[in-house]
Amino acid sequence: MDDSNTVVITAMGATSPYGQGVDALWNGMLSSQNCMHTVPELEALEMVNTKVAATVPDADYSFIPRKYRRSMSRMGLYACCAAQEALKQAGYDVAPNKLGFFMGSTLNSISVWMELTGYSQGAHLELVKTSDFLQIMNHSPLAGVCQALKINGPAMGGSEACATGLMNMGLGFLAIRQGLVEQALCGGTEEYHPMFSACFDIMQATSKNSNDNPSAACRPFDKSRTGLVVAEGCGLVFMESKKSAIKRGAPILAEVLGFYANTETENMAYPSAETLKACMQGALENAHVKAEEVDLLNAHATGTIAGDIAETQAAYDVFGPKLRINSLKGHLGHTMGASGTLESIACIKMLQHNTLLPTKNLKQVDERCAPLQYNAQLQNIPLNIIMKNSFAIGGNNCSLLLRRPL
Amino acid sequence: MITREEIIKRTNDALKKEFEFTDAQLTPTAQLRDDLCLDSLDAVDMVVVLEQQFGVTLRQGYDLRTIVTLNDLYDFIEKLARTHNK
């Protein structure tokens, strides 16, 4: 492929359970720092088995003018911080003209919804404030960040639950390739509410055997895993055409080689290995990359029994037993709509540093997971191409390929 | 009957909480739009929080254009409270 069609990433922004910034995210994972904790609201619920989550540390957001902050729930604030970081790294004080913005979330702010429900219980629905409504639109974080940072290009919010972040990176990639925009911020944002944990818990998909040791609560691929840990945050990447990056002298962090998405039609909650396999194969074809050229699969692997098995079986069918595979959910928990992008950011750091992050809490691989090259230790190895997977409840799957810049 | 002083205190407390004002900003002659920078969306929310605060209906017959300063707002609430208590 000639450079005229190449899409690159030149900046990144992250708000995560490790705190604000890409450095906090990367250093937290590098040092296996614990960001998980018990949640008092969950501890008070007798029938909910999981008690652990990973949330963004409290911060002062008053630096965002009230005029913009009034329409932001927590996920909007997280997104505003991540977007500011990415724009700054991209070399912009204010958003460049016609910047595209592709971002969504699984749900909107449950906390604000709960507040509104409180009003209605008292038959005071007429006392709903405009600012409450502006915080709970499906695209509220997207719209709020556009206002705050003067992003005036096309802003669209793809929303596919746990695949949201990576789907929006795919949308940005396609939009740049097709010439709709030259530059775009892409990713996902999410804010935690105990309702997430309660819902996944009743589906038997949460971690429940490590409430007294939150750091070990999420154990992708491990024999003793019982499920995921819900988390929150926002990840955004600044994508642009390679032509644009070269023209303005922007350092290239990674190339986006290809993207593919498909949908599971048999079951909303249980992915089939066949569909996941087709998704990964589609991404390889879209990127014109051979399976053996991929150095690492950064799996979706949330630590659920069924999901990890299906994904590894699919990966085995596509790549064979030599495939190196890791999951970052043991470090970060499942940041839901933000996970695809926050983990892609970690992938780009892995490419930059030739550093393979371990699958935290992996002690003994479940024999039902396919035989692949799992790693429980930090390793320094050459990494050129990484495939990132994100799969959503609802059956929405996507895979994206990243390469160290040539 | 609610006193003027009480109206001022409760109005200012509600506005400080909703719009993050300081006491120094809330002078009686401060103009809602030009000095306190309240825009049309803020005006709608101001009505809601003041209705909650005083238990009266402000939105019917309410016209921001006739209420320029904080003093105008206190006058308006005082008049409504009197009518409400009749």
Same domain, A319 and A171: no
Same domain, A159 and A188: yes
Domain locations in chain B?
4-85
A20 found inside a domain: yes
A294 found inside a domain: yes
Chain A residues in contact with B39 by the CB 8 A cut-off are 67
Q: Average pLDDT, whole number, for chain A?
A: 95
Interface contact flag, A70 B41, Cβ < 8 Å:
yes
The domain that contains A384 carries what CATH number? 3.40.47.10
| Domain finish residue from A208, A223, A247 | A247
Same domain, A206 and A295: no
Chain B residues in contact with A62 by the CB 8 A cut-off are 20
Q: How far is B39 from chain A (nearest CA, A)?
A: 9
Closest chain B residue by Cα to residue A130: B45
Same domain, A57 and A158: yes
Q: What is the pLDDT of residues B34-50, one digit of tens each?
A: 999 999 899 989 999 99
Of B20, B39, B48, the CB nearest to A129: B48
| Domain finish residue from A218, A247, A276 | A247
How many C-beta atoms surround the C-beta of residue B21 within 10 A? 16
Same domain, A185 and A262: no
Please give the pLDDT value at position A157: 85
Its ipTM equals 0.85
pLDDT band at B86 (very low <50, low <70, confident <90, very high): low
Q: A-contacting residues of B 14-73, CB under 8 Å?
A: 19-20, 37, 39, 41-42, 44-45, 48-49, 51-52
A252 found inside a domain: no
Please give the pLDDT value at position A126: 75
Contact predicate A141/A105, CB 8 Å: yes
Same domain, A226 and A266: no
Q: Which of A161-170, A208-217, A266-275, A388-397 has the lowest mean pLDDT?
A: A266-275
Percentage of residues of chain A with pLDDT beyond 90: 91
Same domain, A67 and A213: yes
More confident residue, B63 or A328: A328
A46 found inside a domain: yes
Please give the pLDDT value at position A122: 61
Instruction: Select the residue from A131, A134, A137, A140 to test the B interface by mutation, using most B Cβ atoms within 10 A.
Output: A131
Please give the pLDDT value at position A2: 62
Nearest Cα neighbor of A108 from A142, A145, A147 is A142
Same domain, A115 and A171: yes
Interface contact flag, A130 B20, Cβ < 8 Å:
no
Contact predicate A161/A393, CB 8 Å: yes
DSSP secondary structure code for residue B65 in this structure = G
Of A66, A130, A131, the CB nearest to B20: A66
Interface contact flag, B52 A70, Cβ < 8 Å:
no
A22 found inside a domain: yes
Contact predicate A186/A12, CB 8 Å: no
| Domain finish residue from A247, A269, A297 | A247
Instruction: Select the residue from A66, A116, A132 to test the B interface by mutation, using most B Cβ atoms within 10 A.
Output: A66
Same domain, A169 and A310: no
- Which whole number is the average pLDDT over A233-260? 98
Q: How many residue pairs from chains A and B have C-beta atoms closer than 8 A?
A: 22
Q: In a 3-state reduction of DSSP, which class is residue B69?
A: strand
Interface contact flag, A129 B19, Cβ < 8 Å:
no
Interface contact flag, A134 B39, Cβ < 8 Å:
no
CATH architecture for residues B4-85: Orthogonal Bundle (1.10)
Number of structural domains (chain A) is 2
Same domain, A146 and A284: no
pLDDT at B64 over 80: no
Instruction: Select the residue from A70, A124, A147 to test the B interface by mutation, using most B Cβ atoms within 10 A.
Output: A70
Same domain, A203 and A274: no
Please give the pLDDT value at position A10: 98
Interface contact flag, A66 B19, Cβ < 8 Å:
yes
Contacts by A196-200, CB closer than 8 A, 24 or more apart: A196/A106, A196/A110, A196/A230, A196/A336, A197/A39, A197/A42, A197/A48, A197/A50, A197/A53, A197/A230, A198/A42, A198/A45, A198/A48, A200/A50, A200/A227, A200/A228, A200/A230
Interface contact flag, B41 A131, Cβ < 8 Å:
yes
Q: Which domain holds residue A395?
A: 257-403
Q: How far is B33 from chain A (nearest CA, A)?
A: 13
- Which whole number is the average pLDDT over A344-363? 98
A384 found inside a domain: yes
A79 found inside a domain: yes
Instruction: Select the residue from A129, A133, A137, A140 to test the B interface by mutation, using most B Cβ atoms within 10 A.
Output: A129
Q: What is the pLDDT of residues A264-295, one digit of tens each?
A: 999 888 889 999 999 999 999 999 999 999 99
Please give the pLDDT value at position A4: 74
Q: How far is A127 from chain B (nearest CA, A)?
A: 6
Q: What is the pLDDT of residues A28-71, one digit of tens each?
A: 999 999 999 999 999 999 999 999 999 999 999 999 999 999 99
**Cα gap A37→A23, rounded to integer Å:** 21
Q: What is the pLDDT of residues A370-386, one digit of tens each?
A: 999 999 999 999 999 99
Same domain, A188 and A286: no
Please give the pLDDT value at position B63: 67
A219 found inside a domain: yes
Of A66, A67, A127, the CB nearest to B48: A127
